[in-house]
Amino acid sequence: MRRWTTSVILLAILLPPVAAAQTVRARPVLVLPFAVKGAEGDGWVGEGVAELLALAFSNHHAVSPINRARLARVGVEGAVDERGALVAGRALKADLVLFGEIERTGGHWTIHPRLLGSRAGGSEAGRIEPMSGAEDQFFNLVGQVALAYLNRFSVAVSADEAKRIRRASIVTENWRAFEAYVKGRRMFVAETTAGNEGAAELFARAIEIDPNFAVAHYYLGMAQLRLGNRWKAAAQFRAATQVDASVPEPYKALGDLFMASPRRLHDQAIEAYQRAIEIRPFYADAYVGIGDVRAAKGQADPAIADYQKALSFNPLNPRVYVSLGKIYFAEKGLYYEAVEAYKRAIEIDANFVEARMGLGEVYEDKGLYREAVEEYTKVVEQDPAHTGALYNLALVYEKVDPKEAVARWERYIAVASQIPSEKDWVDVARQHIRKLKGQLEKGN
């Protein structure tokens, strides 16, 4: 019996029509922390500028900010020079890299925006005219920088889009709350238990200072979710929607929670995803959620159409390719298409373990055990406590090396026996060890 780690197929309902969004293939843009000059102890402000710019760009269909967490995975931390920006941009396959410098003089901040085309032969490198503003106008200043960048990208910005972009950059009016939030985001992107715990504490501090800080509510929910506190996470997502109903991320997060609920709250999941898309018609991850629901009902072709729509908005979203890989293999029986989808996800993000697990499972199912071992091993190298990969590795080794399989089962048990939810699987693993040892003894 193979232990599948792909998501459990969920019950779906027929979706009512959603207003068509303007389908424009967004340019992947990497926003790096800005360097800070002449302000002792204000280094975090450079990260704050990058954070606000990414939030602002999320409100325009022609720009797709690359997830900041992926920076650490390619060894980039903090502000970098032009060479570092180019390396980071090429590693993450960005069309453009945004970076620069900020400085505080007296009671004013000055931002020196820069950009760089990271693809070979890029011609968009250069500087944008510096912009200055008083300390109490800092958030408005960042909004102006975001609009200046968009102008440099030669994309049209309507009056309504400009309004949303400026609004997105004003996450709070309290400087101390903003500092706590930015430092919390720094810990959150580390994607470790300690980082999530520290981030949760800092996000909570930001909310204590400014209870109307919607984005801080959202990220506190995400940190709680990573820590396994689903109810606390849901409470924070709902709080974010109550504080600011124009922010779509909490609705999408609620949709994910509803879909994973043991009570099968799929009607509510659909409602949440649709609300997120109403706010942001080009929200790729929300379309992925709806596609997953359609796939659950066996509506493979409509689901694929939703995934393709998501890719039209965000071409560097590895989660979309993982969903495509699952449906190609499980529902359509398209082996080569599934492999290519998983490989594309890994090409975008080599550390995306779900993609490697999916690819390993396809290889295993087709009897390509050496290839399956390679993928599962890469997952374990990245996360030595990944019980799914440890379990699947032991199963594959049973086919090619029973003696090694015993060692792999023992490794799995050593890790999984500390996790209550793995109890039944640990019992199965012990049965496998007894069977293998019996076979090895007979062979001797």
H/E segment holding residue 108: strand 108-117
What are the structure tokens assigned to 382, written together?
A: 């990245």
In a domain, 338, yes or no: no
pLDDT tens, residue by residue, 132-146: 999 889 999 999 999
8 A C-beta contact, residue 37 and residue 102: yes
* CATH number of the structural domain spanning residue 151: 3.40.50.10070
What are the structure tokens assigned to 363, written together?
A: 């290889």
- Report which of 179, 221, 197, 208 is spatially closest to residue 46, judged by C-alpha positions: 179
CB neighbours of 41 closer than 8 A, spacing ≥ 6?
A: none
8 A C-beta contact, residue 143 and residue 59: no
Q: Compute CA 434 distance to the chain's CA centroid, rounded to the nearest angstrom.
A: 41
Mean pLDDT of 86-92: 86
pLDDT tens, residue by residue, 322-346: 999 999 998 889 999 999 999 999 9
In a domain, 123, yes or no: yes
8 A C-beta contact, residue 171 and residue 213: yes
In a domain, 18, yes or no: no
In a domain, 288, yes or no: no
- Report which of 344, 347, 375, 377 is spatially closest to residue 359, judged by C-alpha positions: 375
Q: Which residue has the higher pLDDT, 221 or 265?
A: 221
Going by pLDDT thresholds of 50, 70 and 90, the confidence category of residue 260 is: confident
Q: What percent of the chain has pLDDT over 90?
A: 65
In a domain, 387, yes or no: no
Position 268 scores a pLDDT of 86
8 A C-beta contact, residue 259 and residue 269: yes
3-state DSSP helix/strand/coil % of the chain, to nearest 5: 60, 10, 30
Q: Domain range holding 137?
A: 27-170
8 A C-beta contact, residue 29 and residue 310: no
pLDDT tens, residue by residue, 183-201: 999 999 888 889 999 999 9
Q: Which residue has the higher pLDDT, 410 or 117?
A: 410
Domain count, the chain: 1
pLDDT tens, residue by residue, 121-174: 444 567 889 999 998 899 999 999 999 999 988 888 999 999 999 999 999 999
In a domain, 401, yes or no: no
In a domain, 157, yes or no: yes
Position 69 scores a pLDDT of 80
Mean pLDDT of 65-74: 79
In a domain, 230, yes or no: no
